[in-house]
Chain A
Amino acid sequence: MASSTPNMLTKFESKSSRAKGIAFHPKRPWILVSLHSSTIQLWDYRMGTLIDRFEEHDGPVRGIDFHKTQPLFVSGGDDYKIKVWSYQTRRCLFTLNGHLDYVRTVFFHHELPWIISSSDDQTIRIWNWQNRSLICTMTGHNHYTMCAQFHPKDDLVVSASLDQSVRVWDISGLRKKHSAPTSMTFEDQMSRANQNQADMFGNTDAVVKFVLEGHDRGVNWVAFHPTLPLIVSAGDDRLVKLWRMSETKAWEVDTCRGHFQNASGCLFHPHQDLILSVGEDKTIRVWDLNKRTSVQSFKRENDRFWVIAAHPEINLFAAGHDNGVMVFKLERERPASAFYQNNLFFITKDKHVRSYDFQKNVESPTLLTLKKLGSPWVPPRSLSFNPAERAILVTTPADGGSYELINLPRDGSGSVDATDTKRGQGNSAVFVARNRFAVFTSANQQIDIKDLSNSTTKTIKPPTGTTDIYFGGTGNLLLITPTTVHLYDIQQKKSVAELAVSGVKYVVWSNDGLYAALLSKHNVTIVTKALEQVSTLHETIRIKSATWDDAGVLLYSTLNHIKYTLLNGDNGIVRTLDQTVYLVRVKARSVYCLDRNAKPKLLNIDPTEYRFKLALVKRNYEEMLQIIKNSSLVGQSIISYLQKKGYPEIALQFVQDPQTRFELAIECGNLDVAVEMAKQLDRPKLWSRLTAEALAHGNHQIVEMSYQKLRQFDKLSFLYLATGDEAKLTRMAKIAEHRGDFTARFQNALYLGDVNDRIQMFKEIDLYPLAYMTAKSHGLEEECESILEVTGLTEEQITLPSIGSPLTPPKPVVPTFKANWPTKATSQSFFEKALLGQVEGLSLEDEPTAASNGFGFDEAGEEDGAKRNGNLIDAEDDEDAAGWDMGDDIVPEVESDFVNVDSAEAGAGSSEADLWARNSPLAADHVAGGSFETAMQLLNRQLGAVNFEPLKPRFLEIYQASKTYLPASAGLPPLINYVRRTVDETDPRKVLPIIPRDIESLATNDLQKGYDAMRTNKLEDGARIFQGILHALLVNAVSTASEVEEAKKLITSACEYSIAMAIELSRRKLGTAEEIAASPEKLKRSLELSAYFTIPKLEVPHRQIALVSAMKLAYTNKNLNSALSFANRMLANGGAAKMLDNARKTKAQCERNPNDVHDIEFDQFAEFDICAASHTPIYSGSAYEVCAFDGSKYHSKYKGTVCAVCGVCEVGKNGSGLKLVA
């Protein structure tokens, strides 16, 4: 049905008189518009500026077209003229005359230098614009031809005429005639003449192929499909007709009905199965090509449409109407996307949900298809991702806005239709918490907060005029109205902050959630999470997308640039873009984005500039230094930036140019540099500026130097006076005398208080009166006399004014000249220090340390590797041993006739702990449930456990792990909850408790500790640890049969170690070496026990330990035969070279005299086990008893005692066997 989308995506509109013709430039964002007023306009529709106007036609211009490659365009007007223009030189190149009436359309051929024109003179003409000649006139229509176009590939022309027909012409003849003059045989000519029926004038260049009749009024426009053999036409019968053609015929396929006034233009969508048409009914209509149903329609209030054009490449259309043109899009091209950590989730053009891994740079296969979402021609608008549930929330504008909540599968397996979707009506939908999302419906101005099962938990009335909602931080929403943004607290149901920002379209949160960027068409406003404005900036070009750098820099994309802005609003260009992209993530030098085809792309950028600026703002000088050293960050822009931002001292570090350096040095008051530069440049202007600055600093030495350079003697003199430097002042006086500069000399004399010199000077320049006065005032009578004498006057002849006291210059109190005035030391910034003083330290030392660090790291790595290797060996050993022990494992029958435990009858409110005992036949689960009696019963039945005391810690451990304490209402004890190992289970009949120290942790922790104890010869500890393992296994639970096997192996292994350690410990208890040596019995027993120590099936390295000890003991006690056998066994086992060497030596020694001095009960060739209680051999064939749990063997006489190994079970009491799996 004709669902009209409320807002059309208009990208550009112009105001002018009626637009009759439109042409897109194939590459640049330009559009040519020919107007009814005789003007041709060239617009940049992206910038919205009028580039040029061409006014040479007389009367309306109807046809217009850009050349595909050349800087040319063609126009045709009601002055019967066709003009070819160059838009570079901006003038008409030439005019093609020939038509006898209005020219309706003009088009370039896609490859040949041809122009096709249609005219009211009923002809279609083809022109060669290179030699500017008419090459073909096609006649046949018997009314105005309104439109004629070349086929985009084939040698065909289609034309429309008011004679109600559409004609298809074959122009292959014309091509042959005008393409390279290949020799044409007579036969060729003949066949051509025969094949193509010549028209009535004998013209075979262009012949009518098909005449399509179906319109019952004049046809205004006709167009070929870009790839398919289809034609679309629009006529005054208000119909848009679709035609199909084959090699031999053409026929009408269908009609699109809907226009209620003349249809004036139509075309095929360049990429999608759509037809677009415009009409005098003021509508633009979009039709489904396959179904010929209306997809969309856009109505304009007052303007009739006259023409429509499509951009050949990108998704843009233009329509001309009574008052100008509009450039528009049919659909949003922004792919809906969302990212979480290293994954981007996005929806492709064909509505597949995919993900993209930023780290691996791989795109996943399709996770889901959303074919059913919305209507076929409307792409989804937004996507919100919930990482906890791995769910997405997709909105689509179709059907007045709807959303779907879909769980993503873990990995994509191609096209999977979304199942288990939850949907509803709404314009926007976003996740606001892990288990809540908000849905906004603009029709009734309502926000529903929903849970994951899509049921509304809360309803909110947003402020009036709300157009969109965005995530606003946990528990908050950002509500967008046309003029403001509200931060809305969902819990309190009120707006907690409001900011006047108009036209916000998108909100982008920083990765740390502290800042958000509000994007509107031309503005970026950065706000804090409390919606306080931080900065705002304006762009003349549309802002498309934005994303935050991890460091808190916002990168945003416009139509053709990626730019950045810091929080303080400083911004700049990062790089240019060839095509519009939507940024999704920045990582280091990579920008990840989606292009308009929803393909993930990776762009490389140079982040140096903004990193530097950021470091500057944060005063992170180390980083700045790093950046300066490691990158070529120079250029005027950064310097002027630094200067502008008030960091001239930093800018100074970048500049080489002395002039700039001088300026910067003056600006930041770095006089040393300024002097240096002034010396280098030596220009009076600089010196005088330096003087002023130095004076301000009170640095009179520099002032002095500058004055000297400037040869400003009087100023210099005054400076010396001011600083009290009499010596130099005297020299100044001399210089003045030398120069014959009497004023200066006078001044200096004044400064110096040198009366005589003044008098002398006055005399020299014949100013005797002044000389006299001076002398008189200073009471120099003699001098007066002499002056009078020289002038020949007497005192009486002179009338003197009253003379005051003589002038004496003040004497300097402080010898200022000796040093500069103490000024506050300008603290060198870290940066300067680093750069000036310690730059070597930083740059040169840094790297070696780094290098050595690296080296150290390598070593560590090697060590690690070695360790790992060691572990590997261990692991292998384990496996070997395990393999060896395999045969000993006896899988006991699984007890099936388990008797239910007599627990309290399930009344109201039996706790979960009670359930556990009921749900499980495992002792461990009973223990966890606190039902110790039944647990003991079970163990007794299964394993013959009788001595429970050693199990007490294990019982209490399990019991204590079973409960947690959840604080609830204040004032009451906490709620007790029961910890399960079946985390996903909710059926009370299946829940089971957690059992601490499971098989895995025992194998990885406790067992290793036991091995360590063995290795480090801490046998008491070891014995305890292995018994602990046995106890932990005795009361435990596993989930699979393979784990049961593992547990059995572990039990056997722990048992062997326990026995081995017990043997060795009992040997050590025999007494000290002396005591043993003194007693032959003890010695014998000692030798026996050391031999038995080698019997239990220990891991190979540990067995070697036992063998070494046995071998040594046997050797030192001259039991060379035994020692030899131990040595042989050691050699068979292999291992450390040193140890083997030792064994070999011993072997060699023993082989000389393989005899035992002491006779012991140890037959190296016999098969036997060791009785765990008496530590004596049980030879194969003799009767023995075992412990039902650990499998340790005993002489029959020990039947009924407590097993020495586990300390729990009764020897010889056969139970049903250990049960570990429920």
Chain B
Amino acid sequence: MDPFSAEGELLNLHNHFHQGQFQEVIDFDTAGLSPENALPARVLSLRAQIALGPAEDVIADVQGEKEPDLAAVGALAELAAGNESKAVTIAEKLAQESGDNAAVQLLAGIVLQAAGKSEEALTLLSQHQGNLEAVALIVQIQLQQNRTDLAIKEVQAARRWAQDSLLVNLAESWVGMRVGGEKYQQAFYVFEELAQAPATSSSQSLVSQAVAEIHLGRLEEAEAALQQALAKDPKNAEIIANTAVLNIIAGKDAKDFINSLSTVAPDHHYLQDLEEKSALFDKAATKYSAKVSA
């Protein structure tokens, strides 16, 4: 049975996971689940653990497990623990051996994409059979490749069979954030609905809401959402990075946030990018000089 269908018993678990409520996923009572759902539930729970860290516990947990699902989790955990090459090796092996396993597709896809092997990831993911998570991942990879057109098609196709499911809405919102215009507003609605309902609120959805507000030019609202998120999760790199961006847009000083970002996540894209551009600037600036030095 499709675990995403509204009637599925894993629906809440899935929703928690994709809403970024990882602790709720771990705390979820899986005792009452039917046997065929036990493994997917465990996989989700382990993924939530990886997301919350540390990944080493999960590596130990799945050590020696034969199930490809769990092996894939292991690969993801290795990735999170920083052993990218090991993760990729496992992922590639799994992709060859059991590429038809949904969890393998998904998790190995994540590992491959994270390692920059987008094409391989997409090939693996394209084997999915009605797996919304895979769809969402495909959409994300396509967006990362700046192929918004393909992402739009993917979402539209998914909407046909998955109706108003959370993941479809999320993926559509991700796409919307690229498309802009009215789509910003629609994406904002989705994020805001998640962020503002106490049952579904998480720092992830709050950040998403804030990002949408930044794009809509509603800086004060964005700031409020980010503060709310910071209060929930003060060490979240995404919150700090976006707060820094917001401050800069608002013409305020963002040094504190950049500093705290460099302690929380020294290899965050934001910082790497900044450093890169700073070097680029220096290099480019040398090409010019005044005719007469003062």
Give me the interface of A with B, judged by CB distance under 8 Å. Answer: 388, 433-436, 449, 457-459, 474-475, 490-494, 908-912, 930, 932-933, 936, 940, 945-949, 952, 955-957, 959-961, 963-977, 979-986, 991, 994, 996-997, 1001, 1005, 1173, 1198-1202, 1204, 1210, 1213
**Other than the known A494-B7, A948-B288, A965-B211, what 19 A-B pairs have Cβ atoms closer than 8 Å?**
A433-B193, A458-B164, A952-B285, A961-B248, A967-B238, A971-B47, A973-B114, A973-B269, A974-B241, A975-B144, A977-B215, A979-B245, A986-B181, A994-B217, A1005-B251, A1202-B290, A1202-B293, A1210-B290, A1210-B291
The CA of A357 and the CA of B51, in the complex, are separated in Å by 49
Main secondary structure of the interface of A (DSSP, over half): loop
Q: From A963, A968, A986, A1199, give the contact of B180 (CB < 8 A).
A: A986
B289 / chain A contacts, CB cutoff of 8 Å: 946-947
A912 / chain B contacts, CB cutoff of 8 Å: 146, 178
Contact across chains for A436 and B241 when beta carbons are under 8 A apart:
no
Contact across chains for B207 and A970 when beta carbons are under 8 A apart:
no
Contact across chains for B288 and A965 when beta carbons are under 8 A apart:
no
Q: Can you identify 19 A-B contacts, CB atoms within 8 angstroms?
A: A434-B189, A435-B189, A475-B193, A491-B166, A948-B281, A956-B274, A964-B214, A964-B242, A966-B177, A968-B136, A971-B47, A971-B50, A971-B107, A972-B110, A981-B217, A996-B250, A996-B251, A1199-B292, A1201-B290
Q: Does B143 contact A (CB under 8 A)?
A: yes
B147 / chain A contacts, CB cutoff of 8 Å: 908-909
Known: A948-B281, A985-B181, A996-B250. A493 touches B6 (CB 8 A): yes
Q: Which 5 A-B pairs have the closest CB atoms?
A: A1200-B291, A493-B6, A1200-B292, A986-B181, A948-B285
Q: Return A151 CB to nearest CB of chain B, in Å.
A: 62
B90 / chain A contacts, CB cutoff of 8 Å: none
A1201 / chain B contacts, CB cutoff of 8 Å: 290-294
Interface residues of B in 177-203 (CB under 8 A from A): 177-186, 189-190, 193, 196-197
A491 / chain B contacts, CB cutoff of 8 Å: 6, 15, 164, 166
The CA of A932 and the CA of B273, in the complex, are separated in Å by 13
Known: A458-B164, A967-B20, A984-B181. A979 touches B238 (CB 8 A): no
How many inter-chain contacts with C-beta < 8 Å in the A-B complex?
Answer: 215
Q: Return A306 CB to nearest CB of chain B, in Å.
A: 56
The CA of A1198 and the CA of B292, in the complex, are separated in Å by 8
| Closest B residue, CB atoms, query A389 | B185
Q: Name the residue in A474, A979, A994 with the highest tally of chain B Cβ atoms < 10 Å from its Cβ.
A: A979
Contact across chains for A1202 and B51 when beta carbons are under 8 A apart:
no
| Closest A residue, CB atoms, query B170 | A968
Contact across chains for A972 and B215 when beta carbons are under 8 A apart:
no
Q: Return A1212 CB to nearest CB of chain B, in Å.
A: 9
The CA of A1188 and the CA of B189, in the complex, are separated in Å by 47
| Closest A residue, CB atoms, query B183 | A986
Q: Does B244 contact A (CB under 8 A)?
A: yes
Q: From A908, A940, A968, A985, give the contact of B174 (CB < 8 A).
A: A968
| Closest B residue, CB atoms, query A995 | B249
B293 / chain A contacts, CB cutoff of 8 Å: 1201-1202
A947 / chain B contacts, CB cutoff of 8 Å: 288-290
Q: From B50, B164, B178, B185, give the contact of A977 (CB < 8 A).
A: B178
Contact across chains for B251 and A952 when beta carbons are under 8 A apart:
no
| Closest A residue, CB atoms, query B142 | A909
The CA of A1173 and the CA of B292, in the complex, are separated in Å by 13
The CA of A613 and the CA of B54, in the complex, are separated in Å by 55
Contact across chains for B278 and A956 when beta carbons are under 8 A apart:
yes
* Range for the number of chain B residues in contact with chain A: 35 or more
Q: From A494, A930, A996, A1173, give the contact of B6 (CB < 8 A).
A: A494
The CA of A966 and the CA of B50, in the complex, are separated in Å by 19
Give me the interface of B with A, judged by CB distance under 8 Å. Answer: 6-7, 11-12, 15, 17, 20, 22, 47-48, 50-51, 76, 79-80, 107, 110, 113-114, 133, 136-137, 140, 143-147, 159, 163-164, 166, 170, 174, 177-186, 189-190, 193, 196-197, 204, 207-208, 211, 214-217, 238, 241-242, 244-245, 248-251, 254, 269-270, 273-274, 277-278, 280-282, 284-285, 287-294
Contact across chains for B251 and A972 when beta carbons are under 8 A apart:
no
The CA of A449 and the CA of B168, in the complex, are separated in Å by 15
Contact across chains for B277 and A959 when beta carbons are under 8 A apart:
yes
Contact across chains for A960 and B244 when beta carbons are under 8 A apart:
yes
Q: Return B270 CB to nearest CB of chain A, in Å.
A: 7
Contact across chains for B251 and A908 when beta carbons are under 8 A apart:
no
Q: Name the residue in B163, B211, B278, B290 with the highest tally of chain A Cβ atoms < 10 Å from its Cβ.
A: B290
Q: From B6, B110, B114, B251, give the contact of A1001 (CB < 8 A).
A: B251
Contact across chains for B217 and A971 when beta carbons are under 8 A apart:
no
A1001 / chain B contacts, CB cutoff of 8 Å: 251
Known: A947-B290, A969-B137. A975 touches B143 (CB 8 A): yes
| Closest A residue, CB atoms, query B289 | A946
A1210 / chain B contacts, CB cutoff of 8 Å: 290-291
Q: From B174, B179, B254, give the contact of A966 (CB < 8 A).
A: B174
Contact across chains for A964 and B244 when beta carbons are under 8 A apart:
no
The CA of A1199 and the CA of B294, in the complex, are separated in Å by 10
B15 / chain A contacts, CB cutoff of 8 Å: 491
Contact across chains for B197 and A475 when beta carbons are under 8 A apart:
yes
Q: From A930, A970, A1200, give the contact of B51 (CB < 8 A).
A: A970
The CA of A1000 and the CA of B145, in the complex, are separated in Å by 36
Contact across chains for B114 and A936 when beta carbons are under 8 A apart:
no
Contact across chains for B177 and A994 when beta carbons are under 8 A apart:
no
Contact across chains for B136 and A457 when beta carbons are under 8 A apart:
no
| Closest B residue, CB atoms, query A935 | B284
Q: Return A832 CB to nearest CB of chain B, in Å.
A: 39
Known: A965-B211, A996-B249. A940 touches B186 (CB 8 A): no
Contact across chains for A997 and B251 when beta carbons are under 8 A apart:
yes
The CA of A959 and the CA of B270, in the complex, are separated in Å by 10
| Closest A residue, CB atoms, query B184 | A983
Contact across chains for A457 and B164 when beta carbons are under 8 A apart:
yes
Q: Return B111 CB to nearest CB of chain A, in Å.
A: 8
Contact across chains for B174 and A975 when beta carbons are under 8 A apart:
yes
Known: A949-B285, A961-B248, A975-B177. A983 touches B215 (CB 8 A): yes
Contact across chains for A974 and B215 when beta carbons are under 8 A apart:
no
Contact across chains for B189 and A948 when beta carbons are under 8 A apart:
no
| Closest B residue, CB atoms, query A997 | B251
Q: Return A926 CB to nearest CB of chain B, in Å.
A: 11
Contact across chains for A972 and B113 when beta carbons are under 8 A apart:
yes
A956 / chain B contacts, CB cutoff of 8 Å: 274, 277-278, 281
Q: Return A980 CB to nearest CB of chain B, in Å.
A: 6
B22 / chain A contacts, CB cutoff of 8 Å: 970
Contact across chains for A1200 and B6 when beta carbons are under 8 A apart:
no
| Closest A residue, CB atoms, query B277 | A959
Contact across chains for B294 and A971 when beta carbons are under 8 A apart:
no
Q: Return A945 CB to nearest CB of chain B, in Å.
A: 7
